């Protein structure tokens, strides 16, 4: 039986809806955690915990957001792609930018023989694209176009901005949970616990369970959001090129990659995850699933 062809327009819309639903899940977990902490600790401690957690997470993530491109380039030890050997690289990006209406990002090269690439930057005006030597040397022109179209799609879809919002929310939950658990521990050590009626005891148990489980749950949700953004970038790349052939060819070659040694901070940015883990704990969908979806477009 012949499989139904996928529409890249519908796939882009579907993956964006899924991302927003997952963000909604993170917000619900945050509200549940905040409510339980407020009930257990009382308004005074609650506002201190909430304000401290919010300020710390926003400062930390915002600093990374505005320096995302510089940090990614430094962490990967990439160099500017200058010289005649990178003329095709520049020409392909210029052509894709003209077709998509994006400004041309700064182009970099990473000296590694594995096939991979990444994009970073808070918006199209402050974006960078980096490919490995392996991508330049081992991919055909059409396959390299597919890879670069995928990376430009991340820029066009403002994925760095979207993932920064997710990181702020996830960071808030993790920090608030830690402050809450440490405050409870301090209160129990100093004998300043609240009333021991049954209702308060139940809410305290719920609050402790949420504080322990919430960071784990939202971290898994964050990974799911990242996977949806990868599917969306694949679909957008097909939209730019009007064919999935190039990206399919590149992903099939990447399947034979050996794991790359890169910083954990930049690993999620790459076209394909440099290391291998179980799917739930990956920032990227399995290559086999991505190829199967592209072959149906």
Catalytic (active-site) positions? 151
Are 296 and 4 a contacting pair, CB within 8 Å?
A: yes
Longest pairwise C-alpha distance within the chain: 76
27: closest CA among 170, 207, 160?
170
Long-range (24+ apart) CB contacts under 8 A made by 25-31 are 25/218, 25/221, 26/166, 26/169, 26/170, 26/173, 26/218, 26/221, 26/222, 27/169, 29/173, 29/210, 29/214, 29/217, 29/218, 29/221, 30/169, 30/172, 30/173, 30/176, 30/214, 30/218
User: Rounded to the nearest 10 degrees, how much is the dihedral formed by the CA atoms of 194, 195, 196, 199?
Assistant: -100
Residues 6+ positions from 85 with CB-CB distance below 8 Å: 136
Are 72 and 266 a contacting pair, CB within 8 Å?
A: yes
User: Which tokens in the block code for residue 174?
Assistant: 């993790």
């Amino acid at each position: 039986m012949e499989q139904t062809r996928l529409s890249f327009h519908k796939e882009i819309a579907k993956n964006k809806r899924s991302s927003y639903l997952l963000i909604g899940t993170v917000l619900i977990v945050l509200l549940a955690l905040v409510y339980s902490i407020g009930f257990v600790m009382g308004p005074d401690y609650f506002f201190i915990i909430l304000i401290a957690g919010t300020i710390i997470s926003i400062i930390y993530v915002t600093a990374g957001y505005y320096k995302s491109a510089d940090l990614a380039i430094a962490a990967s030890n990439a160099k500017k792609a200058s010289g005649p050997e990178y003329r095709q690289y520049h020409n392909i990006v210029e052509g894709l930018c003209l077709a998509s209406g994006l400004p041309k990002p700064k182009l970099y090269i990473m000296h590694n023989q594995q096939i991979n690439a990444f994009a970073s930057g808070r918006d199209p005006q402050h974006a960078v694209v980096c490919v490995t030597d392996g991508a330049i040397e081992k991919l055909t022109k059409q396959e390299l176009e597919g890879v670069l179209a995928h990376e430009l799609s991340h820029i066009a879809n403002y994925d760095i901005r979207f993932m920064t919002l997710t990181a702020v929310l996830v960071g808030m939950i993790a920090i608030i949970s830690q402050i809450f658990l440490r405050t409870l521990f301090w209160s129990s050590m100093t004998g300043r616990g609240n009333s021991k009626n049954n209702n308060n005891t139940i809410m305290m148990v719920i609050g402790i369970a949420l504080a322990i489980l919430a960071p784990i749950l939202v971290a898994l949700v964050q990974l799911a959001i990242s996977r949806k953004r990868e599917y969306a970038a694949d679909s957008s790349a097909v939209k730019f090129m009007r064919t999935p052939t190039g990206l399919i060819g590149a992903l099939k070659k990447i399947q034979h990659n050996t794991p790359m040694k890169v910083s954990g901070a930049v690993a999620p940015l790459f076209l394909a995850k440099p290391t291998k883990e179980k799917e739930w704990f990956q920032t990227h969908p399995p290559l086999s699933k991505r190829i199967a979806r592209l072959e149906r477009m």
